[in-house]
Amino acid sequence: MKSFAPIVSLFFAARSLGATFSQTDSHQGTDFLSSFSHQAIADPTHGRVNYVDQATALAQNLTYASGDTFIIRADDTTVLSASGPGRNSVRLQSNKQYLNHVAVFNIRHMPQGCGTWPAVWELFSTPTGNNCDTAATDNSGCGVQSPATNSYGPSFNSAGGGWYAMERSDSDINVWFWSRNGNVPSDVSSGATSIDTDNWGEPFASFPDTSCDIDSHFGEQNIIINLTFCGDWAGAVYSSDGCPSDCVDYVNNNPSAFTNAYFDFEWVKIYQ
């Protein structure tokens, strides 16, 4: 697909009052290399991708960390054999797990381009479906689309990115987005040591536990950041987004199309 619209794979759909949280983890630059693990695994969403380990990612410059910059990207030089592995890319998993928490992602750039399927697993907004069984929905879950057109893809990148935040509590899961040139709460933009989600306004996605008990359905969770191509969901919607050819053929034969298929994180901070 041409650009990435945030999709949520959670199960619920008014919001309880927010709360104050204290910062417990901060990841920036080279911190990501020790706080996240590169997962060289088969893609569970069946994408045209080859996830590589950290040594390979660093050697091929698919992972780059310096100062306040952390980049993960895909190979953009290799024409792939139809019978060989997919396009080299990166899948990260946090070494720590979290129950109730707030995660704030300060992202300058996210992958764009036909066939790309980037994901930060704790991004979520207007429901597009109520069946959250990934086996029944081609790994799209209960899709929720952000009302802000600059919350993803080229518009997000041309604005210099922005901040996503996800709050998980015993009673609900909430998600916010603020563009780089928008009205951003000061505790979000500064990466403050404590935050008050009650001052953030209405989230664009809210999932209360009215029909699904959060505690009994969600245990400790890792944060995952990945970039795949085609696959169960993105491959299924590829042609409807005006992209050329077949998704897999396009990914195989057009490496230069993925020059802009990269994440640039300024930081990720966790509050509990």
pLDDT at 130: 57
164-191 confidence digits (pLDDT tens): 999 999 889 899 999 998 999 999 999 9
Tell me the three state secondary structure of residue 189.
helix
Q: Of 52-61, 84-93, 131-140, 250-259, which range is least confident?
A: 131-140
Tell me the per-residue pLDDT of 17-48, one tens digit each, with 9 for 90 and over. 568 999 999 999 999 999 999 999 999 999 99
Q: Rounded to two decimals, what is the model's pTM? A: 0.87
Position 6 scores a pLDDT of 42
Q: Could you tell me the residue ranges of all domains in the chain?
A: 20-271
The DSSP-derived string for 229-271 is: ESHHHHHHHTGGGT--S-HHHHHHH-GGGGTT-EEEEEEEEEE
d(CA 54, CA 34): 10
CB-CB neighbours of 233 under 10 Å: 24
**Residues 18 and 196 sit within 8 Å (Cβ to Cβ):** yes
- ∠ CA 79-70-230, nearest 5°, is 35
Kindly state the average pLDDT of the residues 124-152.
67
**For 225-237, what is the mean pLDDT?**
95
How far is the C-alpha of 259 from the C-alpha of 80, rounded, in Å? 16
Residue 214 burial class via C-beta count within 10 angstroms: exposed 0-12, middle 13-18, buried 19 and up: buried
**pLDDT confidence bin for 133, thresholds 50/70/90:** low
Q: For the domain covering 20-271, report its CATH number.
A: 2.60.120.200
